[in-house]
Structure 1
Amino acid sequence: MKRTSGIAGVCLAACLALGTAGAGIAAAAPGASGADHSAADLAAARDAATAPATVETLSRFFARDGAVARSAAAPRAAGTTVPVRTLAPEFVAGKAGVPIARTEFLATKAVSSDGQIASVWAARQGADWQVVNIATGDDEFRYARLGERKLPGGTVFREPQTDAWYVSGGTKVLPLDKDAIRAVGAKGTTVGAYRDRVRAAYGDKLPGSAYAKKGLAGGYEPAG
C-alpha cells in the first residue's frame, strides 16, 4: 500500500547507519539480530519525534487534506518507539556471523485529535537524532506486535525490494504479510534457505555492483 510521506525542512531519506530509557521506550531484545541501537538511542529518537518543531510539522501533516484544522490537530505520541529493520546487504552477500537485518530508523507513532495515525521516523544525523520522515499509517508498529506474537523475542524486518515483512529467530524466518507468504510460504523457511533466496535475487545488485553503479533502481539500497 502506498503511504503518504513528507516533512518540511529536513532530509526525507531515512539513514541506514544508526547511539535514559523512559516511558514509551521499547528496549531491544537481548541477542536480537540487528540490535544496533541502545535504550538511549530510543529515548533520543522519541525526544526528536515529540519536540515542539515536530509537533508543529505533524499538525500540518494531519491537516494536509482538510480532515482536521491545523490548530486542532493536537498530535500526540502513542505506544512505544520501535526499531525498524531492513534486510542487511552483508547477510545477502553471505558474510558469516552477520545479522539478517539492520536498523534503518526508529519509529514513533503519532495520533491526531481525529484519529489519524502517522509514523515519525528518526535517524542519527551526526551526533544528534533527527526526524527524517513522517509517513501515514502504522505498519512499523503493527508488524512489530505481530512478530512478537508469532515468534517472541524474534527480529522483525522488512525486505524493501518486495515490501515483505518477516520475523526471524533461531533458525526460522516466518512471514508476517501476504508478500512474505508468497516468497517463503505460510509456514516460513529456515535462515539458510532464506539467505539462499535473497542472495540469488539480490546478490548481483549489492552496493558496489555493476547494477548499482549504473543506477538501476538505485541498486540494492532501498530508497528512504
Structure 2
Amino acid sequence: MNGRAIGAGLLTTAALVALGALPAAAAETLPSAPTPEQAASAPQTLDTLSRFFARDGALARSAAAPRVEGGSVPVRILSPDFVAGKAGAPVARVEFRASRAVASDGQKASLWTVKQPGGWQVVNIATGDDEIRYAEQGGRVLPGGLVFREPQIDAWYVQKGAKVLPLDEDAVRAVGKNGTSLAAYRSRVAEAYGDKLPGSAYAKKGAAGGYAPQAAEAAAPAAAGAAAREEPAVTVASTAAGAGAVLALTLAGTAAIRRRRAAREA
C-alpha cells in the first residue's frame, strides 16, 4: 500500500495534541453526532475537508466541494487476544469507523470516527480511501468475511471461517497469494508478536506500540519524506476516544512503515 499523507487540516481532540500527533495550533475539535455518517457529513467537517483537499494548492478551497459517499465501515485491527491464543478470540477487533470523502477533482480521503461520550466524532482525515476500499474488496473476495488489518506490516486481509485471504501486496508477502488457514495465521502472528503483548517484558521496556519489522533501520531513510507524508498511528484515534489502551503491540509502528515506503517510492 502506498504511503498516505497526514490529515493536515486536522481535526481532533486535545488528546492528539498531548500525544504529539498534531501541533496545538492546528488542532480542531469537530462536532459530535448520533451516528458516524452524521459526524462525517456535518457542515463543519465538510469545511475542514475543503481545507484538507486544498492543502497543496492544487485545488482552491472554494472549489473543493467535498462530499461523503456511502455509509461508514468498521475498521478492524489484529487483536492481541487472538495473538495470545485466548479461547474464542476473534482475529481482529473494531477500532474506529471510516467514511469515504471525495473532492470535486476526484481526490479521496478517509474520515475516521470514534465513539465519544457525547456521540460519534471525526478524529482524523487520511489521504486515500484504503479503509473503505479494502472493506469493499474483501466483500467481493470472500462475501460475508471479516476484513482486518495487521498494522505492524501494513497488510490487509479478509477472514471467514478457517480461511484467511490477502487483500494487498503486503498480505501476499505474509501469507502467499492463495492465503492461509486461520490456525496457521495465528501461529505466524503469535511467533512474530507473542512476546510483545501488553504486560510483556518488551512492553514494560516501553517498546511495545512501536514494533515494526526493521523499525530502527527504517527511521533514517524515511526522515527526508516524513514531514509531508506521516500519518498518525491508530493509537491516536483510540486514545482520543477514551477507549483505553489499544493493543500495545500494534499501531504506532504503522507510521514508520508508511514513511519508509513513501521515501522509497518517491
Equivalent position of 1:26 in the other structure: none
Task: Compute the displacement of 1:207 (Å).
Answer: 1.7
Residue 165 in structure 1 maps to residue 156 in structure 2: yes
Equivalent position of 1:197 in the other structure: 188
In the alignment, residue 102 of structure 1 is paired with which amino acid? Answer: R
Task: Compute the displacement of 1:58 (Å).
Answer: 0.5
Number of corresponding residues: 196
Equivalent position of 2:54 in the other structure: 63
Equivalent position of 1:130 in the other structure: 121
Residue 105 in structure 1 maps to residue 105 in structure 2: no
Equivalent position of 2:250 in the other structure: 221
Whole-angstrom distance in 2 between the partners of 1:43 and 1:3: 29
CA contact (8 A) 2:10 2:125 kept: no
Residue 10 in structure 1 maps to residue 39 in structure 2: no
Whole-angstrom distance in 1 between the partners of 2:56 and 2:49: 13
Task: Compute the displacement of 1:210 (Å).
Answer: 1.8
Task: Compute the displacement of 1:79 (Å).
Answer: 2.6
In the alignment, residue 75 of structure 2 is paired with which amino acid? Answer: V
Task: Compute the displacement of 1:80 (Å).
Answer: 2.7
Identity of aligned residues (%): 64
2:200 to 201, 209, 214: 209
Whole-angstrom distance in 1 between the partners of 2:90 and 2:172: 22
Structure having the higher strand fraction is: 1
In the alignment, residue 220 of structure 1 is paired with which amino acid? Answer: L
Q: Partner of 1:216: helix, strand, or coil?
A: coil
Residue 76 in structure 1 maps to residue 58 in structure 2: no
Task: Compute the displacement of 1:43 (Å).
Answer: 6.9
Whole-angstrom distance in 1 between the partners of 2:86 and 2:165: 21
Gaps of 5+ in 1: 14-41
Equivalent position of 2:82 in the other structure: 91
CA shift in 2, pair 1:43/1:186, >3 Å: farther
Whole-angstrom distance in 2 between the partners of 1:9 and 1:131: 7
CA shift in 2, pair 1:111/1:177, >3 Å: same
Q: Partner of 2:39: helix, strand, or coil?
A: helix
CA shift in 2, pair 1:9/1:187, >3 Å: closer
CA contact (8 A) 1:74 1:113 kept: yes
| TM-score normalised per structure 2 | 0.70
Q: CA offsets per residue over residues 170-218 of structure 1, 9 Å max, x none?
A: 1100111111111111111111111111011001111222212222252
Whole-angstrom distance in 2 between the partners of 1:79 and 1:67: 25
Gaps of 5+ in 2: 17-32, 210-247, 255-266
Q: Partner of 1:68: helix, strand, or coil?
A: coil
Which 4+ runs in 1 deviate beyond 4 A? Answer: none
Whole-angstrom distance in 2 between the partners of 1:118 and 1:9: 13
CA contact (8 A) 1:4 1:135 kept: yes
Equivalent position of 2:143 in the other structure: 152
CA contact (8 A) 1:207 1:221 kept: no
Q: Partner of 2:147: helix, strand, or coil?
A: strand
CA shift in 2, pair 1:126/1:221, >3 Å: farther
Whole-angstrom distance in 1 between the partners of 2:78 and 2:34: 24
Q: CA offsets per residue over residues 88-128 of structure 1, 9 Å max, x none?
A: 11100100111111111111100111111000000112242
Q: Partner of 2:249: helix, strand, or coil?
A: coil
CA contact (8 A) 2:198 2:208 kept: no
Whole-angstrom distance in 1 between the partners of 2:179 and 2:250: 25
* Pairwise CA RMSD: 1.8
Q: Partner of 2:191: helix, strand, or coil?
A: helix
